[in-house]
Amino acid sequence: MYRGASDGEKKRGVGLACSYRGVSLGAEGADAAETIVSVQTDGSVIVSSGVTDMGQGAQTQMSQIAAEVLGISMDRIQFLNTNTSRVADSGPTVASRGTIMGGSAAKNAAEKVRATLLDVGAEMTGVDLNDLDLEDNYLVSTKTHERMASFSELTAACFNKGRPMIGLGWHNSPPTSWHEEEGHGDAYFTFVYGANAAEVEVDTETGKTDVIDFASVHDVGKAINRGMVVGQMCGGVAMGLGYGLLEEFEIEDAIPKQLNFDGYLIPTSMDVPRIKTIIVENEDPMGPFGAKSVGEPTNELAAPAIVNAIANATGRRIYELPANLERVLLGHKLTRQGKRGSEQKNSIDAMVVDSCKIRGGKA
């Protein structure tokens, strides 16, 4: 039952939030990443990067990019945990930069190794270098599609010839048009775009808000791993739901009031609604195979969409998060008692005053 309906205390509403977001550090400072791809004599591949994987899947996507360039299956790749004693520090895992920076460096490193492998392959087979390719763990002829040698045979030949099969990939972010002194221009070399839509049900007697349906749409450039992208999108919605409705960290006299998770509420599986994910792919030449990023943008839009849905359901807009029982209930009751037109503002002002009294503050 939506707000326009006359009966029922539970009202439904829908809300939309859209955004565009800069990728990488941009004008904040120099941004670069290093990845090393090393092929062993048995045909296995070691990948190491200065980009730290905290669970978002950076290691997987860098491995996939290296495997694509080398024409091999993923089971040949071992990814070493980040250690700056053997690979250059590649900056923090922030700014949704893992794929576009680490992935670009991995692609650059793998391409250097690929060039060596194809060069030796041409010497082995007598086939023109331009007619050779690496595909499905084999050196193949692009003209006849014949398998000329296995990847393991090819790497063994490189070793016997003393040809190094290691590539150091380094990627610097492109320059931006931002002009610091004049305060204009693009602060980032590329952007990602997204839209979230939420449907909520608000109990106008208790202030309880349930998110019952959700749609998350993001332009990621190119999805290197669709499963991981969907996981990021669903995880971002769940985190945004907590930010929008539940999570609050209060400090009183320099002492935190929430000392444990019984006071700091986070969403459970029962709180997360149905999530429809839509991946939009507009390949970007700035990223590896056209990929950009998907990380923080999936989280940033959820709370605004939910708050907009609450406003659609109750007629009252909330400007402070989380939209907990008190804020939703207090705001709804005061707005319902208020009159239309100029008297609406007086109702909102009264709500602010009463809210300050409840919190022990001053209006």
Which residue shows structure tokens 């004008």? 27
User: For the structural domain made of 10-23+190-317, what CATH number should be given?
Assistant: 3.30.365.10
Residue 271 buriedness (CB in 10 A; 0-12 / 13-18 / 19+): middle
Residue 6 buriedness (CB in 10 A; 0-12 / 13-18 / 19+): exposed
pLDDT digits (tens, 9 = 90+) for 293-317: 888 899 999 999 999 999 999 988 9
Mean per-residue pLDDT, 239-268: 92
Question: Which of 11, 179, 155, 159 has the alpha carbon at shortest distance from 72?
Answer: 155
User: For the structural domain made of 30-172, what CATH number should be given?
Assistant: 3.30.365.10
- Is a pLDDT exceeding 70 seen at residue 340? no
Mean per-residue pLDDT, 82-88: 84
Record the pTM. Answer: 0.83
- Is a pLDDT exceeding 60 seen at residue 349? no
What whole-number percentage of the chain has pLDDT above 90?
Answer: 65
Instruction: Choose, from 9, 111, 296, 320, the residue flagged as catalytic.
Output: 296
Q: Mean pLDDT, the chain, as a whole number?
A: 87
Q: Do 30-172 and 10-23+190-317 fall under one CATH topology?
A: yes
Spell out the long-range contacts of 351-355 with Cβ–Cβ below 8 A and sequence spacing 24 or more. Answer: 354/330, 355/327, 355/330
Amino acid (1-letter code) at residue 53: D
Beta strand spans in 9-81 (E): 10-22, 32-39, 45-49, 77-80
What whole-number percentage of the chain has pLDDT above 70?
Answer: 89
In the annotation, is 326 catalytic?
no
Cα separation values, 264 from 161, 206, 245, 248, Å: 62, 20, 12, 6
- Is a pLDDT exceeding 90 seen at residue 27? no
Q: Where in the chain are the domains? A: 10-23+190-317, 30-172
